[in-house]
Amino acid sequence: MNTASRYDKLFEPVPIGPVRAPNRFYQVPHCSGMGFGMPRTLAAMRAVKAEGGWGVVNTEYCSIHPTSDDTPNPHASLWDEGDLSNLALLAEQVHEHGSLAGVQLWHGGSSTSNLASRMAPLGVDSLPVGRDTVQSKKMTKRDIRALRQWQVDAARRAMRAGFDIIYVYATHDYLLHQFLSPDYNTRRDEYGGSLENRVRLVREMIEDTRDAVGHKCAVAVRFSADSGTSPDGCLADDEHRDMIAMLADLPDLWNVNIRDYNREMGSSRFYQEAALESYVSYVKQVTGKPVVGVGRFTSPDTMLRMVEQGVLDLIGAARPSIADPFLPEKIRTGRVDEIRECIGCNVCYASDYKGVPIRCTQNPTIGEEWRRGWHPENVPPRESDQPVLIVGAGPAGLEAALVLGKRGYPVILADGADGPGGRLNLECRLPGLSEYARVRDYRVGRLASMANVDLYMNNYLTPEDILETGYPRVIVATGSRWRTNGMGRYFSRPLAGYEGANLVGPDDLMRDVDVDGRVVLFDDEHNYMGTVLAELLARKGCSVTYVTTEAKAGAWSELTQEQERAQRGLLEMGVEIVTCHAVTAVDAEYATLSCIYTGRTRTVPVDAFVPVTSREPDDRLYLSLRSDEAALERAGIHKLLRIGDCHNPGIIAAAVHAGHRAGREIDSPERELPDYRRDRVVIGETADY
């Protein structure tokens, strides 16, 4: 059996109520950071997934009424005819590729503050909303009747917009979940108390939606398979089992998740593929309707196992479909080794949290489909035969080489190290970060098949070497090094106070420099590096004091759903966590910690000190070349770019994006204005901006 036919089962059509999914690849609803404000950007992003073979493509959470307004987090909406018209574009573009379009109708209840609409949040009871200073209104029966009508109205709009699958969204702590859960629901009427009463509203919403659109559209329910009482899987007496059994065949499709969002959206640092299996595997036994679930599936063998063992009917994916919109197509055509596997870094999630269009470490084209016209698989052909020299084979250099190689340019990729990967080679050896190697391995694998790209490792290049090569175009991607002088967010210039310390920089630590005894780690960077290195030190047996200027360990990693697990893990390993302090001085024996509010200091004994504050761009090569334009001209170098961390250090996703852009735009003049279309309303214009 060849690779493609081995996975035939994944390509069987699946009937879902009155519609039929063309295969088992199901892009579950996921945030995009675009919401109702960027309809063209959104439609193009979803359409590429349909083109890549996802048989069903869903929207993100789509509000049914202004009482469910999550601003400033971008979300879809179906409040009126304008929303209908904008979302119709998405449905139409998804249909063009033969896929089904689904819409996740949603009411946030007392999870949304309604900051833009300024309407009162609604709740099963009156509760504080998020971190805002507002409480929800306890819903009356009249409010419940209104809610049901909003769902019906939105469902009808969705049907008219062309959607095939309409959701009732009953999980993730939003309104319907609040009715289901005894943690929230204290009502004494027919919507509270017994299981049957708490399930009543969800039942009514399913029935209402079916009455409204069920002759034409499938009705899906998103529901938690467990109530969150066990960390290892769904318990036999979990009441969510009973709830699903009570509603068993009422919807056309069960889209199941779990209560613990940290696991469901788990980063690869803590959770591997198929992490939800033990929670959701019973669902197919209690319903005859198709079941879809997620598990950051990137392996076709795992997907096949899910179907063959009766765990799932449809392979749900958000992140794997973001990292590789063409994953299904690559399996279908026997190109499994070309799959760009998600690394589980959750940068995609962080961008939505920040309210900006989605980005991805592995897929630099996501979010750029409409505004820059980028496609995840296709690049424009080369415009000349001029070769390109790339210096530095980190994420930026590798991606630039990949794009240029695909375009057909002759490319030399040189690096002073003994293997490609740059920072990835160090980071993927840290606790929990092994999947980061996929960023390197995918690109190195693809480059190996390109006769026009040559890799020269152990080739440290000086400016003189480069001038001698005679390559007309040079891309410098030489990366950055962690600073050890304290410079970062808190200290904006180098600090003299660390000079007497036994300093161990993050780069040294990642290169296995010996450290033992009492170690103070100062995290002023706030992403994963500080907490990961603290974990590494604790595993080595060091007695670790982790100091941060923030109020939490690895505060930025809250955006990637890692913070809570990281801090808990450190505490469980005996790491002392000191928050809201800076390390102002360190000598051979003591570190001085200073409160960021009062300036009060205290000292702790120290054998080694690890500052994780910021990185120094390694721009020496670029600046040296740039400093002599006449020499560049004599050498025939007419294009000199620097990209990635040597330009401005950032997350890996930023370096990959910079590499991709350089590869696509090598022939373009450098511009000062944004070189992309902006998805916005222009008064008095009908042009396609």
Angle between helices 141-161 and 81-95 (to 10 degrees): 40
Where in 348-387 is the site for ligand SF4 (CB under 6 A)? 348, 360-362
Nearer to ligand ADP, 336 or 417 (CB): 417
The answer to whether residues 291 and 313 touch, using CB atoms and an 8 Å cutoff, is: yes
Tell the smallest beta-carbon distance from residue 270 to ligand SF4 (Å). 13
414 in contact with ligand ADP (CB under 6 A) = yes
CA–CA distance, 181 with 476 (Å, rounded to integer): 56
423 in contact with ligand ADP (CB under 6 A) = yes
**Interface mask toward ligand ADP for 425-464; x: CB under 6 A:** -----------------------------------xx---
Query: Which residue in 612, 435, 615 sits closest to 537, CA to CA?
Result: 612
534 in contact with ligand SF4 (CB under 6 A) = no
Nearer to ligand ADP, 175 or 652 (CB): 652
CA–CA distance, 222 with 317 (Å, rounded to integer): 14
Per this entry, what is the length of the chain? 689
Q: Which does 361 bind (CB under 5 to 8 A by kind): ligand ADP, ligand SF4, none?
A: ligand SF4
CA–CA distance, 528 with 530 (Å, rounded to integer): 6
The answer to whether residues 198 and 239 touch, using CB atoms and an 8 Å cutoff, is: no
Tell the smallest beta-carbon distance from residue 415 to ligand SF4 (Å). 23
53 in contact with ligand ADP (CB under 6 A) = no
> 3-class DSSP state for residue 333?
coil
Give Rg (Cα) of the chain: 27
> 3-class DSSP state for residue 503?
strand
CA distances from 603 to 381, 550, 583, 589, 654 (A): 61, 19, 9, 10, 38
**Contact with ligand ADP (CB under 6 A) among 139, 220, 234, 393:** 393
Where in 362-391 is the site for ligand ADP (CB under 6 A)? 391
Scanning 350-358, 411-419, 467-475, 676-684 for contacts with ligand ADP by CB under 6 A, the matching segment is 411-419
Q: Which does 394 bind (CB under 5 to 8 A by kind): ligand SF4, ligand ADP, none?
A: ligand ADP
Catalytic residue of the set 167, 174, 184, 279: 174
Written as six digits, the tokens of 2 are 């060849």
Query: Which residue in 253, 647, 236 sits closest to 478, CA to CA?
Result: 647
Written as six digits, the tokens of 512 are 């296995």
Nearer to ligand SF4, 217 or 358 (CB): 358
567 in contact with ligand SF4 (CB under 6 A) = no
Q: Which residue has 């709830």 as its token pair?
A: 243
CA–CA distance, 90 with 86 (Å, rounded to integer): 7
Tell the smallest beta-carbon distance from residue 557 to ligand SF4 (Å). 13
648 in contact with ligand ADP (CB under 6 A) = no
> 3-class DSSP state for residue 430?
coil
Nearer to ligand SF4, 362 or 549 (CB): 362
466 in contact with ligand SF4 (CB under 6 A) = no
Within 108-140, where are the H helices? none
Residue 165 host element (H or E): strand 165-169
Nearer to ligand ADP, 46 or 423 (CB): 423
Q: Which does 461 bind (CB under 5 to 8 A by kind): ligand SF4, ligand ADP, none?
A: ligand ADP
**Interface mask toward ligand ADP for 598-637; x: CB under 6 A:** --------------------x--x----------------
Scanning 10-18, 317-325, 591-599, 677-685 for contacts with ligand SF4 by CB under 6 A, the matching segment is 317-325
Residue 390 host element (H or E): strand 388-391
Where in 319-338 is the site for ligand SF4 (CB under 6 A)? 319, 322-323
Nearer to ligand ADP, 60 or 618 (CB): 618
Helices and strands in the chain, H and E counts: 24, 27
Nearer to ligand SF4, 205 or 396 (CB): 396
CA–CA distance, 253 with 217 (Å, rounded to integer): 11
422 in contact with ligand ADP (CB under 6 A) = yes
Query: Which residue in 376, 383, 385 sits closest to 340, CA to CA?
Result: 376
Task: List phi, psi (to 5°) of 297.
Answer: -75, 120
Nearer to ligand SF4, 361 or 567 (CB): 361
**Considering Cα of 74, then 76, then 79, then 83, what sign does the dihedral take?**
positive
Q: Which does 362 bind (CB under 5 to 8 A by kind): ligand SF4, ligand ADP, none?
A: ligand SF4
Residue 624 host element (H or E): helix 620-626
First to last CA, the chain: 49
Q: Which does 655 bind (CB under 5 to 8 A by kind): ligand SF4, ligand ADP, none?
A: ligand ADP
Tell the smallest beta-carbon distance from residue 390 to ligand ADP (Å). 9
**Contact with ligand ADP (CB under 6 A) among 479, 488, 505, 663:** 479
Q: Which does 422 bind (CB under 5 to 8 A by kind): ligand SF4, ligand ADP, none?
A: ligand ADP
Tell the smallest beta-carbon distance from residue 456 to ligand ADP (Å). 9
174 carries an active-site annotation: yes
Concatenated DSSP letters for 313-379?
SEEEESHHHHH-TTHHHHHHTT-GGG--------HHHHHHHTTS----SS-TTTT-TTTT---SS--
Nearer to ligand SF4, 241 or 319 (CB): 319
Strand order in the sheet with 590-595: 581-586, 590-595, 601-605
Tell the smallest beta-carbon distance from residue 418 to ligand SF4 (Å). 26
Tell the smallest beta-carbon distance from residue 515 to ligand ADP (Å). 22
What residue type is 651 in one-letter code? Answer: I
| Beta-sheet pairing, 137-138 with 122-123 | parallel
The answer to whether residues 377 and 53 touch, using CB atoms and an 8 Å cutoff, is: no
Tell the smallest beta-carbon distance from residue 653 to ligand ADP (Å). 10
Written as six digits, the tokens of 674 are 């944004």
Q: How many residues bind ligand ADP (CB under 6 A)?
A: 25
CA–CA distance, 265 with 318 (Å, rounded to integer): 10
405 in contact with ligand SF4 (CB under 6 A) = no
Binding site for ligand ADP (CB under 6 A): 391-397, 414-417, 422-423, 460-461, 477-480, 618, 621, 644-646, 655
Binding site for ligand SF4 (CB under 6 A): 319, 322-323, 342-348, 360-362
Residues involved in catalysis: 174
